[in-house]
Structure 1
């Protein structure tokens, strides 16, 4: 071990970094592994203010997202993607070495990575057979776990399975966690099923937190802009922890344009196109005799269980099509996630699928 490595904390030495689509990489031309939109809109930027530090919470961005989401400005925090929001919530509400977060895998990997980085334990309570939260198991864990559960993360639509948490189950969890911990619902993909948002429950539960992003439906993964919707006291506490200048001025400028009436109209048109393309793709995939299961259709991706998922993933990679392989994840043997890309990209995927024999 090098002398530099010896200087690092023991916690960091033991960490395994989150393997994002970019870190995994792959040689290809058709990248459908990161749930990105196939293309973005065009934006204009002014450079006249680039000599100045930006606002910590640019008021024009907060105002624009308040208008879009229907949530009051004082209940919104903007951050570098919803990933930063996840990390802030862990650091704000969990004591290292004493507290824990609760997740239900399979789910988004950054929850546990954020906890690991902060020295906070992750408690994993497996979901029910339909991938809904196991309410009684969560209740038992919250009430009896040696480490105090301070934050529960629920991804809805869930990445990678695509299911949305039932209102009744979420309300049950919110009822027995009141005064005990935060319940965070990650709505990164909610624009693909907006009627299933849980924002409506915020008025009755001050410990319900919603995280959002411009990366997916708004096609702005490259600018790293996300939002936390929460009780004003939660926002005030997070503002104590967030860095002084999290949102670069060009990011703020683009976000305001994306959240304008015109920008939202473009987003909704994009979402409608992607949903139509996703549904056509699923219809064709279901015809393949080696497809064993197609998971929930609520986002801009679809998780598919194949007879031989690893073989299919490799066959696509050999043709320059990079998908996301989940065969090593709990309950997802032979599963591959496919991002819904452009018409040409999806036709190429189907062409390769039809050429595979399993």
Structure 2
């Protein structure tokens, strides 16, 4: 029996998202997944694994609401922000009728989730400086229910102009939800749009504990929106999205001490990022280091050096972004420890 005959046609054609772990690699320096380079330490305090967890763990909700400056009823916790991306589509988009709109180069799961669910996609590439093409978006809003904007953007690292986001919100009023993916916002907290929720009922914000909180392995994300949106998402989310150990650790991470630790992590990575960027710009094979408000750098290298494969073969695993960004030899490098960053610089000097 050919099982593929039973697979939905859109899934048969689907190319899965190429996550860092799916791509693989062998090495000692892993700077390809925008993770915090040092593992935090937590001990479980909840021992009730014989019981189902709370559908929306209240300690986690209250902790994140206080941290984000919103009300608990404006929050939904999910299995990473990836689940939230898909929940919005399941709740608001009719398959084969409605569309989502996104602006590459940006996070690839917006497209993959839509195609998995049979939802149409509209693509409006960003401008040359990686800002929103507002005219292009306005011309493509028919049947669009969700507009995804990542800021700081992955993989480019830049912030989306705040005034452009406001223009987009006004443009989409009574037509679509505008979803601002703030997975990296802790590296530029003054740029968050959470305070705009009062004025924009169709604004949705996505957050995660994976980056600045150093908990990528926990898979814990948040949707921040006004109550009608949250109530709608509650209808389609799984009954128990967070396992008890996940909720336990998330609550600890959102304590006063946990948040202070996160802020120290951010300060360390921002300092490390600046030092690393300065070292990269001194290398002749580096054409450009792009400004970044995240925990990674996008770097353009000389065409003839094959930097990505050279470092890959040396056990330094980075993220090739040439295809997604439409330019050759652009590599995204997560900010690692001092030792890891030094290893990258040393290897690049050998290529020079």
Other-structure match for 1:57: 56
Aligned equivalents of 1:356, 1:109: Cα separation in 2 = 31
Residue deviations 1:308-341 (CA, integer Å, cap 9, x gap): 3871001111110000001122433210000001
Q: Do structure 1's residue 233 and structure 2's residue 228 form an aligned pair?
A: yes
Aligned equivalents of 1:46, 1:82: Cα separation in 2 = 25
Other-structure match for 1:122: 121
Other-structure match for 2:25: 26
Residue deviations 1:21-69 (CA, integer Å, cap 9, x gap): 0000011111100000011321121352110001110111100000100
Aligned equivalents of 1:112, 1:92: Cα separation in 2 = 16
Correspondent of 2:156 among 139, 151, 161: 161
Q: How far apart are 1:265 and its partner, in Å?
A: 0.7
Other-structure match for 1:48: 47
Q: Do structure 1's residue 208 and structure 2's residue 203 form an aligned pair?
A: yes
Q: State the SS of the aligned residue for 2:235.
A: helix
Other-structure match for 2:262: 267
Aligned equivalents of 2:240, 2:47: Cα separation in 1 = 18
Contact 1:309 1:336 in 2 (8 A): no
Other-structure match for 1:112: 111
Structure 1, unaligned stretches of length 5 or more? none
In the TM superposition, what are the counterparts of 1:76-87 in structure 2 within 5 Å?
A: 76-87=75-86
Q: How far apart are 1:87 and its partner, in Å?
A: 0.5
Q: How far apart are 1:289 and its partner, in Å?
A: 1.7
Correspondent of 1:316 among 311, 315, 336: 311
Contact 2:46 2:248 in 1 (8 A): no
Aligned equivalents of 1:294, 1:41: Cα separation in 2 = 29
In the TM superposition, what are the counterparts of 1:137-176 in structure 2 within 5 Å?
A: 137-142=136-141, 145=142, 148-176=143-171
Aligned equivalents of 1:47, 1:272: Cα separation in 2 = 31
Which is worse superposed, 121-130 or 256-265? Answer: 121-130
Other-structure match for 2:349: 354
TM-score (norm 1): 0.96
Other-structure match for 1:190: 185
Contact 1:309 1:325 in 2 (8 A): no
Residue deviations 1:189-223 (CA, integer Å, cap 9, x gap): 00011011111211100101000000000000001
Aligned equivalents of 2:326, 2:291: Cα separation in 1 = 15
Contact 1:310 1:327 in 2 (8 A): no
Residue deviations 1:122-153 (CA, integer Å, cap 9, x gap): 111011111110111111111xx4xx011000
Correspondent of 1:249 among 205, 221, 244: 244
Other-structure match for 1:278: 273
Contact 1:309 1:333 in 2 (8 A): no
Q: State the SS of the aligned residue for 2:42.
A: coil
Other-structure match for 2:100: 101
TM-score (norm 2): 0.98
Q: How far apart are 1:17 and its partner, in Å?
A: 0.6
Aligned equivalents of 1:46, 1:3: Cα separation in 2 = 48
Aligned equivalents of 2:193, 2:305: Cα separation in 1 = 36
Other-structure match for 1:288: 283
How large is the Cα RMSD of the aligned pairs? 1.1
